[in-house]
């Protein structure tokens, strides 16, 4: 490796919405996971709000087949809460790793916690209270109430991962829950840690529409701090792509595209390689029970070679200083990245190179190894 390159573990992103199926015009499993691979993300966990949704064994089995044939990276799936909770055991056998709860599921919070616990499924929650969302879809009340409600239920059972936490007050409530309950964790997204809404939260450009919404600067700083000091358990994108024209319209749907740049962005902004790897590689892989996420003997060799803008001796290498990406579209437009993915290895096999592009899909043995 060159003196301005570093070798880091491949990242595991616990929260992505790959589209495909009826929403293939936004993204396919193939294009979304190629974005992941080329950004150094070698494992993704899918959310179930696809069209049609993954909330029954048939849809799950079709999805797992599609992921197996089309994905460039390793994938796991959270299913949606089915009407009949008994079918969770069939979905567990089929290969689901967890259940994702949405605001619409709040009336069934207790039974959902119980069922996930009984079936040894992970539970991930979008903790916004549906009634407060109706009254004010972009204010902080929905998350304040939602997190309180989930904490109440979780204090009996544990086993909960709070998705995309966006308020300082949520961090305090979750810290309190953690102090007496096992199996509690939370994710922080790049957008909640790096972007804020300005003084008036109703005045955001539609292109930045996302759920939960971008918050005030004080909350943004609080979320960034949870990454800096490792109080957040995981960095996870909530990658939720829409087309450029959808995002440019006045009624832009919620969701941001972020998988391709999430890892270099984290390394650049955090300026703490060890913490970045803990948040985006080691802890999420351990959460999934995977032997990856660390560069150690016995670990699966999902590895990324990054070229760095700053050499280990602190000098800026002139030769490559123009090679670094400035993000061209999307929520992080204009950001200069200090890290560039050069090569990605999956299980020790070269799977992507910045010069040649992707070399192998996961399921199809396109490479000779």
CB nearest ligand NCD: which residue? 255
Give me the torsion for CA of 44, 42, 191, 138, rounded to 10°: -10
Return the one option of ligand NCD, Zn ion, none that residue 210 interacts with (CB less than 5 to 8 A, by type): ligand NCD
In the complex, least distance from residue 239 CB atom to Zn ion, rounded to whole angstroms: 8
Residue 210 engages ligand NCD in binding (rule: CB under 6 A): yes
Of 211 and 309, CB closest to ligand NCD = 211
Residue 284 engages ligand NCD in binding (rule: CB under 6 A): no
In the complex, least distance from residue 313 CB atom to ligand NCD, rounded to whole angstroms: 41
Which one from 238, 302, 313, 325 is the annotated catalytic residue? 238
Among 28, 31, 49, 169, binds ligand NCD (CB under 6 A): 49
Among 63, 92, 100, 126, binds ligand NCD (CB under 6 A): 126
Residue 257 engages ligand NCD in binding (rule: CB under 6 A): no
In the complex, least distance from residue 43 CB atom to ligand NCD, rounded to whole angstroms: 19
In the complex, least distance from residue 47 CB atom to Zn ion, rounded to whole angstroms: 5
For 282, residues 6+ apart whose C-beta sits below 8 A from its C-beta are: 9, 293, 294
Of 238 and 342, CB closest to Zn ion = 238
Residue 137 engages ligand NCD in binding (rule: CB under 6 A): no
Cβ neighbours, 10 Å, residue 77: 24
In the complex, least distance from residue 167 CB atom to Zn ion, rounded to whole angstroms: 17
Residue 130 engages ligand NCD in binding (rule: CB under 6 A): no
Cβ neighbours, 10 Å, residue 244: 12
Count of residues touching ligand NCD (by CB under 6 A): 9
In the complex, least distance from residue 5 CB atom to ligand NCD, rounded to whole angstroms: 34
Residue 46 engages Zn ion in binding (rule: CB under 5 A): no
Residue 238 engages Zn ion in binding (rule: CB under 5 A): yes
Of residues 3-32, those binding ligand NCD (CB under 6 A): 17
Give the interface segment with Zn ion, choosing from 137-145, 184-192, 230-238, 325-333 (CB under 5 A).
230-238
Is 238 among the catalytic positions?
A: yes
CB nearest Zn ion: which residue? 238
Chain positions contacting Zn ion, by CB under 5 A: 238
Chain positions contacting ligand NCD, by CB under 6 A: 17, 49, 126, 210-211, 238, 240, 254-255
Catalytic residues: 238
């Amino acid at each position: 490796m060159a003196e301005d390159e570093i070798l880091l573990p491949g990242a595991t992103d616990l929260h992505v919405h790959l589209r495909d199926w009826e929403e293939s015009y936004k993204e396919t499993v193939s294009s979304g996971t190629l974005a992941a691979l080329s950004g150094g993300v070698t494992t993704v966990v899918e959310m179930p709000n696809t069209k049609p949704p993954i909330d029954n064994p048939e849809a799950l089995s079709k999805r797992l087949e599609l992921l197996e044939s089309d994905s460039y990276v390793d994938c796991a799936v959270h299913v949606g809460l089915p009407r009949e909770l008994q079918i969770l055991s069939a979905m567990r056998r089929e290969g689901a790793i967890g259940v994702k709860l949405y605001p619409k599921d709040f009336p069934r919070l207790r039974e959902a916690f119980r069922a996930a616990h009984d079936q040894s499924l992970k539970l991930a929650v979008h903790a916004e209270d549906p009634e407060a969302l109706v009254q004010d879809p972009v204010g902080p009340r929905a998350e304040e109430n939602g997190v309180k409600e989930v904490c109440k239920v979780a204090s009996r059972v544990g086993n909960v991962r709070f998705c995309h936490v966006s308020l300082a007050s949520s961090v305090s409530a979750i810290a309190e829950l953690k102090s007496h309950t096992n199996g509690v964790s939370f994710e922080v997204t790049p957008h909640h840690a790096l972007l804020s809404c300005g003084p008036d939260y109703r005045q955001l450009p539609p292109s930045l529409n996302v759920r939960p919404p971008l918050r005030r600067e004080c909350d943004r700083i609080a979320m960034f701090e949870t990454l800096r000091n490792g109080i957040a358990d995981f960095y996870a994108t909530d990658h939720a792509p829409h087309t450029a024209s959808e995002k440019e319209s006045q009624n832009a749907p919620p969701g941001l595209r972020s998988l391709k740049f999430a890892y270099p962005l984290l390394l650049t902004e955090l300026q703490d390689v060890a913490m970045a790897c803990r948040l985006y590689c080691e802890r999420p892989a351990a959460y999934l029970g995977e032997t990856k996420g660390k560069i150690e003997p016995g670990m699966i060799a999902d590895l990324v070679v990054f070229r760095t803008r700053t050499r280990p001796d602190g000098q800026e290498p002139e030769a490559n200083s123009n090679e670094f990406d400035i993000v061209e579209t999307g929520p992080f437009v204009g950001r200069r990245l200090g890290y560039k993915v050069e090569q990605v290895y999956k299980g020790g096999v070269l799977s992507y190179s910045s010069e040649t592009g992707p070399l192998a899909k996961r399921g199809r043995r396109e490479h000779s190894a």
